[in-house]
Amino acid sequence: MSSLSDDSLLQEFVAESREHLSSIEPDLLILEREGANTDQEIINRVFRAIHSIKGASGFFGLIALKNLSHTMESVLMLIRDGQLVPTAKVMDPLLEGVDKLNQMLEDIHSSETVTYQDEIRRLEVILGKPPKADDLEATDISSNPQGLSALDKTTIVNATQQGQRLYYLNVSVDKDLTAKQRTPLDLLEQLISVGLLIDSSFDIAMFPDLSNCLNASLSLSILCATVLEKDLLAMAVDLPETQVQEVTMEEVLDNKKPTWAMPETEKQELSKPIVQERESAHQETKTTPVNHSAEAVETIRVRVDLLNKLMDLAGEMVLSRNQLLRAFAQKENPHNGLETISQKINLVTSELQEHIMQTRMQPVGSIFGKFPRVVRDITKQLGKEIELRTSGEDVELDKSILESLSDPLTHLIRNCCDHAIESPEERKEVGKPSSGTIFLNAFHEGGQINISISDDGRGIDHARIAKKVLENGLLSESDLKKMSPQEVVNLIFLPGLSTAEKISDISGRGVGMDVVKTNIEKVGGHISIKTQLGKGTTILLRLPLTLAIIPSLIVGACGHRFAVPQVNLVELVCVKAREIPTRIEKVGNASVLRLRGKLLPLVRLADVLGLERVFFDSESGQYHPDRRIEIANPRFQENTLVSDSETLNQRTHYSSDYNIMVLKVGANQYGLIVDELFDMEEIVVKPLSSFIQHCKCYAGATIMGDGQVAMILDAGGILSYTKLSFSESQAEENYKKQLNTLDQTTIEQQAMLLFKNAPDETFGLPLSSVLRIEKFNRNEIEQLGGREFLTYQNRSIELLRLERYLPVKSSLNEQKEWFLILPKSANGRMGIIASQIVDSIDMQLDLDTTVVTNPGVIGSSVVQGHLTVFINPQTLLEKHYESRGLVHAS
Amino acid sequence: MQVIQEKEHTRLLAEEDFLVTNANRLQLELIEALEAIDNPKVILDLTEITRMDSIGIKLVLGLLKSCEQKNFLLEVEVSSSSILKLFHLCKLGQLLNIREVVVNE
């Protein structure tokens, strides 16, 4: 077994000590709050943590750390023994001590240069003794006198309670170390890596003086605690089992040491001079490989870089698995049995990936734990009364996400304390309890982790934000007027905006919230704010569970493939080509889809990425350029030479259907139009190269099953790139108002066809209900039994005159060329005669249903200065069929 | 091994690592130095060395025994972190006065 280097041991000590310090800080705050009533276990926990730091820092010769933790331990001992009541006055120096220890641990190699005398003096005031200058400067690192100290005894009891076993090891310096070319340090480091070194001592009672010391036998006796079984421990430290003896806690506490029987072989070997035999020992020594049976230990420390590497490898394995599955799927007759193996690999890989992911998961409680201290300190500083309540500490998040959360959360909590929670007087004036409350809560929802920070403070005043935005020149007044109150509140994420009247140490420099937002979005999260003036504010952070392997939908656009993380995906909507005019509308410059009464802004992926739009023609098996200009009104570019009938066919062909992914970014949703939809796949996120890292539409890249690279789309990035405006709620309200004021027959904003029958009467019908419009000559009309027909493309189309079913003027006039409007519902067998096609316009109608009330009429409205009657072609057709004694079968 | 007579103590300055390879020579030098000392306080200065194996520890413990026989007070000065760690883990501080000395390089 190779011994660990000094530095890795030291780093392990630093990591452990940091953990100890982060765990004792909340406990110290409980001590302060509960005073003499504090649970003894909490006091013991703090005591043990500080003791561990002291012990280990002593081992490493870190005098500053040792001295400070020693003094802190003395104070804690008084508290533990009931001689000192933990009040704020006692806790302050202890908390300052914790800060100082943290500072020393930040750069352990410079820890000796950190001044800590002030902290010690304050602690010694509590201990009731004047500080002795000598003690502070002393570098005497001699340990306690022989025998187990009280603290060692505490360690022993603690280790036993944790299920560790106690062992005495008897190490022969010559046989177990020199002969094996091991130093005592090698052995002790091996031991520390598998257990806890409690005590060690050389037996020098019979040791000779200088003249005979080299060949004299010397033994080192070690007391340690470990979870390992005896044989495994012996193996781990490369000692014969006979030299490892398990003892009970009572035996150790009674100072009963085992008696060791020295084997005859050893006695013979020991009679030989060791030093002279050095060379031969070097050649003969067999180093027994030591097996650190990982399965025997419950927890081990694993380096994060190792975990990262494992994660990468698991990712590669997932990719290879995907490739394998794809290869099998493509092969028609796979070799017998291979398919089963492939399925097995599939299962094992999924499980492996899941477990490796779990190794990176850590409870959010590890960062929540530091906030009580933050709140306490700010509360004291500002003279406010604030209580922090936390829940959901057990919710787990990927380590990397958790680490990046620490700073933003701290900032948000500090903001809450500084801005949101009012002073006790202010709170009393508005009828609130003098003490404010901040709720910090973590919970799972929809495959994501949510962390909410709520307060019962003053809320965010959107008018004040608007004023600050104007003052700072961040936006113009006209921009602000267009915004809803919620949108104005969201401006607090603008860089350079702070509503604090005074800049304090805590906040108010306006560099915070935008950084918070950026940091949260960097890890694929989203931040949103809900606030009620005078009542409080809730800030919600939505975070992905992990960043490494994510389920995603693979989509295609312009012949390229892209991955869309499932967490962003709400639903998929296919808008048939023929439905485009009725379902997709134009509002301002944006196209929107009306989806179950909501307006969904639409963007084309190809346009966002600047790709030439194409569509796949399954009949020809080729990609063709997509010549549609707008989403809502898919008319072709003007200079495109396409015949009318070709145009109409292309517009209604299924290849013109829109595949819309409804994506959500926080509270907002938008539709992203793509060409093709493939499978859901678990993709392994690969970071982007530095060359394209600035492209905000991409969150990363992945390798597909066929080895091709696919870019991962960043739903939030696309949204900010396209600068879509979300006044959705406003639009929604308007829409609902409209619904309330108008009859059910109201036609919403859509493309309308305006035409005339008699020259002075205008009619309208939704363009979406029209299959096509044909021009014909009056002479082409054929009569049969009082019915009129037109032959068109070898097919007879019956003509419908409006005047027969509606009280309108006759279209009989002398003009030669007429128009035939073919409604979709007539299936090309019947058409409405029109003398003139006036226009096709997008409009939102305010229909009057009282002026013209005949069946077949939806209502009337004034369009372009003329009264226009809007007809329902379906009803007219039904009336026509009824008059003929037929049933409309379409 | 340099023997430096100082006002209140005698300093034994070790110039090479305390290893099995040079243990015999070091043993002789230490015996020789100790015989010449009449100062009751002896400082074994290990600040210039960085390595010590188990035979090195035997030498230190042998020196301790010899000092005890002569009623000398032995103190050991160490700079190397690995030697310091070795002394701490073996709890040699229970037997000797060990002082950590920071050497400015």
| Chain A residues closer than 8 Å to B58 by CB | 173, 213-214, 216, 218
| Chain A residues closer than 8 Å to B27 by CB | 210-211, 213-214
Cα separation of A562 and A712, whole Å? 6
C-alpha distances out from residue A269 to A213, A291, A689, Å: 16, 27, 63
Count of helix runs (H) and strand runs (E) in chain B = 3, 5
DSSP letter assigned to residue A562: E
Predicted pLDDT of residue A739: 45
pLDDT tens for residues B59-74? 999 999 888 888 888 8
Cα separation of A217 and A238, whole Å? 19
A 167-186 → B contacts, CB under 8 A? 173-174, 177-178, 182-185
- Ramachandran class of A668: left when φ > 0, alpha when ψ lies in -120 to 50, beta otherwise: beta
| Chain B residues closer than 8 Å to A141 by CB | 84, 88, 93, 98-100
Is A443 within 8 Å of chain B by CB? no
The token duo for A653 is: 């062909």
Half-sphere exposure of A462 (CA within 13 A, CB side): 15
Is A273 within 8 Å of chain B by CB? no
Q: What are phi and psi of A136, to 5 degrees?
A: -70, -35
Q: What is the DSSP string of A646-705?
A: HHHHHHHSGGG-EEEEEEEETTEEEEEEESEEEEEEEEE-BPPPTTTTT-TTEEEEEE-T
Cα separation of A181 and B88, whole Å? 21
Pairwise CB contact (< 8 Å): A173 & B58: yes
Q: How many CB atoms lie within 10 A of CB A295?
A: 6
| Chain B residues closer than 8 Å to A177 by CB | 53-54
Q: Which residue of B has its CA nearest to A198?
A: B89
Burial level of B69, CB count in 10 A (0-12/13-18/19+)?
A: exposed
Helix (H, G, I), strand (E, B) or coil at A107: coil
**Which of A454, A415, A733, A393 lies closest to A597 in space, CA to CA?**
A733
C-alpha distances out from residue A105 to A20, A111, A140, A426, B83, Å: 12, 7, 21, 41, 22
| Chain B residues closer than 8 Å to A59 by CB | 85, 88-89
Predicted pLDDT of residue A618: 65
Strand partners, A556: A561, A676
Pairwise CB contact (< 8 Å): A275 & B55: yes
Is A214 within 8 Å of chain B by CB? yes
Q: Closest approach of chain A CAs to the CA of B64, in angstroms?
A: 7
Of residues A185, A208, A216, nearest to B82 (C-beta):
A185
Predicted pLDDT of residue A441: 93
Q: Is beta strand A750-756 parallel, antiparallel or unpaired with respect to A762-766?
A: antiparallel
Burial level of A765, CB count in 10 A (0-12/13-18/19+)?
A: buried
Size of interface A-B (CB pairs under 8 A): 140
* Residue type (1 letter), A407: D
Is A394 within 8 Å of chain B by CB? no
The token duo for A334 is: 């796979």
Predicted pLDDT of residue A630: 65
Cα separation of B101 and B103, whole Å? 6
Q: Is beta strand A770-777 parallel, antiparallel or unpaired with respect to A817-823?
A: antiparallel
* Residue given tokens 């020295």 in the structure block: A262
DSSP letter assigned to residue A110: G
Predicted pLDDT of residue A825: 76
| Chain B residues closer than 8 Å to A208 by CB | 62, 65
Predicted pLDDT of residue A539: 93
| Chain B residues closer than 8 Å to A275 by CB | 20, 23-24, 55
Of residues B66, B85, B95, nearest to A202 (C-beta):
B95
Predicted pLDDT of residue A455: 93
Helices A6-34 and B81-89: angle between axes, nearest 10 degrees: 60
Q: Which residue of B has its CA nearest to A279?
A: B21
Is A793 within 8 Å of chain B by CB? no
Longest dimension (CA), chain B: 37
Buried b (16+ CB within 10 A) or exposed e, A77-98: bbbbeeebebeeebbebbbbbb
Predicted pLDDT of residue A285: 38
Helix (H, G, I), strand (E, B) or coil at A563: strand
What ranges in A585-727 are assigned the alpha helix state H? 605-609, 644-652, 715-722
Cα separation of A256 and A662, whole Å? 73
Residues A455, A438: contact at Cβ < 8 Å?
yes
Helices B54-69 and B23-36: angle between axes, nearest 10 degrees: 20
Cα separation of A52 and A766, whole Å? 80
How many Å separate Cα A41 from the centre of its chain?
36
Predicted pLDDT of residue A555: 92
* Residue type (1 letter), A640: T
Cα separation of A824 and A827, whole Å? 6
Confidence (pTM): 0.44
Strand partners, A837: A755
Q: Is beta strand A866-871 parallel, antiparallel or unpaired with respect to A762-766?
A: parallel
* Residue type (1 letter), B105: E
In the sheet with A668-674, reading across from the earlier edge strand, the strands are A569-575, A658-665, A668-674, A598-604, A590-595, A584-587
Q: How many CB atoms lie within 10 A of CB A518?
A: 13
Q: Closest approach of chain A CAs to the CA of B89, in angstroms?
A: 6
Predicted pLDDT of residue A883: 73
Best of A188, A210, A215, A282 to disrupt the B interface (most B CBs within 10 Å) is A210
Residues A243, A176: contact at Cβ < 8 Å?
yes
Q: Closest approach of chain A CAs to the CA of B86, in angstroms?
A: 5
The contact set of B with A (CB < 8 A) is: 20-21, 23-24, 27, 30-31, 34, 52-55, 57-59, 61-66, 69, 81-82, 84-86, 88-102
Strand partners, A819: A775, A834
Q: Closest approach of chain B CAs to the CA of A123, in angstroms?
A: 25
Helix (H, G, I), strand (E, B) or coil at A841: strand
Of residues A112, A145, A210, nearest to B31 (C-beta):
A210
Whole-angstrom Cα Rg for chain B: 13
Pairwise CB contact (< 8 Å): A210 & B52: no
Predicted pLDDT of residue B90: 84
**Which of A698, A718, A719, A717 lies closest to A709 in space, CA to CA?**
A698
* Residue type (1 letter), A872: N
Report residues of chain A scoring pLDDT below 70. 1-8, 129-151, 259-300, 331-337, 446-447, 496-511, 546-548, 588, 597, 615-619, 621, 626-656, 666-667, 690, 693, 725-749, 793-794, 812-813, 845, 884-890
Residues A156, A253: contact at Cβ < 8 Å?
yes
Kind and range of the H or E run holding A386:
strand A386-391
Q: What are phi and psi of A763, to 5 degrees?
A: -125, 160
| Chain B residues closer than 8 Å to A210 by CB | 27, 30-31, 34, 59, 62-63, 65-66
* Residue type (1 letter), A243: Q
Q: Name the average pLDDT for chain A.
A: 76
Predicted pLDDT of residue A513: 81
Q: Closest approach of chain A CAs to the CA of B69, in angstroms?
A: 8
Pairwise CB contact (< 8 Å): A204 & B100: no
Predicted pLDDT of residue A335: 65
